[in-house]
């Protein structure tokens, strides 16, 4: 019993920093509606700035003073980021801003590498709090007890700020109705800046407070951001008490999971999130999400028509160039083009449900990697011919999408996105931990194509036919009555239901179709590379596809393809530089600010202004 209680106290101590970071993200989302992927970067900055100040400032006063100063410094940095990067694109689609925050992540990563180096920094012990206290005979670190004691005061301070101050009134009002707050004369720009700075400062304080327990390293941002999003979603987006309850729940469960069921630690919090969202679709203390833009902003879209003569000419010319590429390109360029074509099909499959269905998935890699693993497992374990294994890839991914979609389409917005992420993590954990079947992180290797396809030129044409064919099939579905029903459910679910459209069924079928196409891309990928590893199922893979869709343009059918081509090409050339993340991040931020409708959407608008007519080429 004493050991059980000591473990419980450890979980409560871990919850302190997690709650600080999660409460900051909850505040930012509640007011600005920004899905801030860069929140973990401010947590990491808090750790590095904090350890630097602690080395300079002496004694106990210097230690706690460094923590206070860390929040102020990082809050100021965040305010500059908000004004320079985010403020110019507040009128863009809400989730388009996540692309900008991804660029911020890359910039901060390389800046931290340049300033503090690649080595981990050990955090100093808190003065006067070295050693342990024994509770029921079990040793508990003194610093853990202080963190536990501090957490209720932090929660009370935030509650008082939100409920008893003018700033809190404005924050709550903006959470409910931003337009009304603006109509009442409140300067929304500075309110957003202040809330973003406060939320980032909370993240920085969380990073500084955990220094005596964990130190600072360059992977902190990615290691914390998943847990933070899970806590915010479980608690309910915008609910500080909910974030507190969820932080305690997740931290305590993780501690006991490490002790009693270590295999569960990779996915335990995602399992909890999935269960909570299935039972309570808006989190423990959340409310029904206000209908957001999620990729659809401004005037309603004009009906999407099939290509006219000009559009068909452009596509034909592009296909002829791709068909002639093996005659003029070397092997390296062919392999790079194969990678781009695979990624373009993967991105197009996500764009199909995001642009036409308004379904923002954070876990689309489950179907790409699932298709790759389905084919590879047949070849590796049963020596199935490549042709049969390849056909099984899209089938398996489609069935997986059908099962996951059955649970997910009941939700909407960020809650839908996070539930897809939870299921994706479950699939990843199976591939990572079931070594007897998947060989874990050693991956499945020697998965080569059939002899008649064994060559870069032959496989290039194989990829070109299937990738282009898959994209054209998706375009045909969008132009079919099913596609119009899908967009009707996106734009006005109630009116669509009144017209006799079963919106949820249409969305489920669309989700399955997207899974099939992602699985097709995964099948092409595994035979192109000859291997597959759990990295193809990771969160980063899903976010890559999401980012290129928004970069290319959500409202244009070519957006996913153009975005994938742009990012793959730029990333390929920039990775030769030492600080390539910094340059790539700046490029992404520049594209987001200069082209708020995405690359294709902005070019289409520019063409329309130049010619005085609507362009059909980008459709």
Closest CA to 516 of 470, 475, 560: 470
**What pLDDT shows up at residue 94?**
66
**What pLDDT shows up at residue 178?**
64
For residue 66, give both structure tokens. 């460094």
Average pLDDT by stretches of 10, the chain with 619 residues = 78 89 87 84 95 88 92 96 89 76 93 92 86 79 89 88 83 70 76 91 94 89 88 86 91 84 78 89 76 44 66 86 91 91 94 90 94 95 93 96 94 87 91 90 91 89 95 92 91 88 94 97 95 92 89 79 86 84 90 83 78 53
**What pLDDT shows up at residue 294?**
41
Closest CA to 543 of 354, 273, 380, 370: 354
Is the C-alpha dihedral spanning 324, 326, 329, 333 positive or negative?
Answer: positive
**What pLDDT shows up at residue 466?**
96
> End-to-end distance of the chain based on CA atoms, in angstroms?
65
**Rounded Cα distance, 244 and 42, in Å:** 20
**What pLDDT shows up at residue 485?**
93
What does residue 138 show for φ and ψ, rounded to 5 degrees? -100, 135
**What pLDDT shows up at residue 618?**
42
Q: Do 511 and 408 touch, CB atoms closer than 8 A?
A: yes
Closest CA to 536 of 516, 512, 552, 519: 519
């Amino acid at each position: 019993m004493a050991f059980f209680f000591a473990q419980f106290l450890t979980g409560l101590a871990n919850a302190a920093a997690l709650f600080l970071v999660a409460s900051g993200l909850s505040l930012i989302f509640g007011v600005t509606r920004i899905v801030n992927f860069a929140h973990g970067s401010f947590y990491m900055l808090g750790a590095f700035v904090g350890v630097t100040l602690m080395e300079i400032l002496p004694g106990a006063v210097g230690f706690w003073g460094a923590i206070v100063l860390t929040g102020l410094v990082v809050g100021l940095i965040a305010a500059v980021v908000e004004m320079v990067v985010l403020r110019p694109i507040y009128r863009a689609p809400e989730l388009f801003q996540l692309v900008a925050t991804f660029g911020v992540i890359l910039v901060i990563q390389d800046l931290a590498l340049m300033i503090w180096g690649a080595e981990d920094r050990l955090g100093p012990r808190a003065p006067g709090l070295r050693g342990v206290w024994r509770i029921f005979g079990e040793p508990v670190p003194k610093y853990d007890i202080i963190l536990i004691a501090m957490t209720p005061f932090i929660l009370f301070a935030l509650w008082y700020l939100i409920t008893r101050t003018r700033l809190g009134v404005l924050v709550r009002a903006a959470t409910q109705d931003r337009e009304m707050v603006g109509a009442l004369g409140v300067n929304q720009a500075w309110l957003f800046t202040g809330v973003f700075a406060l939320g980032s400062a909370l993240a920085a304080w969380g990073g500084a407070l955990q220094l005596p327990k964990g130190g600072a390293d360059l992977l902190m941002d990615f290691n914390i951001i998943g847990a933070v999003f899970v806590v915010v979603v479980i608690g309910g987006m915008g609910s500080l008490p909910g974030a507190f309850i969820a932080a305690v729940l997740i931290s305590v469960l993780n501690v006991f999971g490490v002790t009693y069921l270590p295999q569960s630690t990779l996915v335990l919090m995602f399992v909890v999130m999935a269960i909570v969202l299935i039972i309570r679709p808006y989190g423990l203390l959340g409310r029904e999400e206000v209908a957001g833009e999620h990729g659809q902003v401004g005037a309603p879209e004009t009906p999407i028509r099939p290509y006219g003569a000009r559009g068909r000419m452009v596509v034909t010319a592009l296909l002829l160039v791709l068909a002639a590429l093996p005659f003029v390109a070397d092997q390296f360029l062919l392999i790079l083009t194969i990678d781009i074509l695979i990624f373009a099909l993967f991105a197009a499959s996500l764009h199909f449900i995001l642009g036409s269905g308004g379904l923002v998935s954070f876990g689309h890699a489950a179907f790409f990697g699932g298709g790759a693993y389905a084919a590879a497992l047949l070849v590796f374990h049963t020596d199935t011919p490549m042709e049969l294994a390849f056909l099984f890839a899209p089938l398996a991914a489609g069935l997986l999408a059908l099962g996951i979609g059955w649970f997910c389409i009941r939700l909407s917005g960020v809650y839908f996105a996070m539930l897809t992420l939870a299921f994706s993590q479950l699939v990843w954990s199976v591939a990572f931990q079931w070594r007897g079947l998947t060989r874990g992180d050693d991956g499945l290797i020697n998965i080569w194509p059939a002899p008649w396809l064994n060559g870069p030129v032959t496989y290039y044409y194989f990829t070109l036919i299937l990738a282009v064919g898959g994209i054209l099939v998706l375009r045909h579905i969008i132009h079919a009555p099913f596609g119009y029903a899908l967009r009707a459910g996106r734009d006005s679910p109630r009116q669509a239901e009144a017209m006799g459209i079963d919106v949820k069924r249409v969305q489920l079928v669309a989700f399955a179709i997207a899974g099939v196409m992602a699985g097709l891309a995964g099948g092409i990928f595994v035979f192109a590379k000859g291997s597959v590893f759990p990295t193809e199922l990771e969160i980063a893979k899903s976010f890559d596809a999401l980012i290129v869709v928004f970069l290319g343009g959500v409202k244009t059918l070519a957006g996913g393809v153009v975005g994938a081509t742009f990012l793959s090409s730029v990333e390929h050339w920039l990775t030769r530089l030492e600080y390539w993340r910094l340059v790539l991040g700046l490029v992404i931020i520049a594209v987001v600010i200069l082209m708020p409708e995405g690359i294709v959407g902005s070019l289409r608008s520019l063409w329309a202004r130049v010619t005085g007519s609507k362009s059909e080429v980008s459709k």
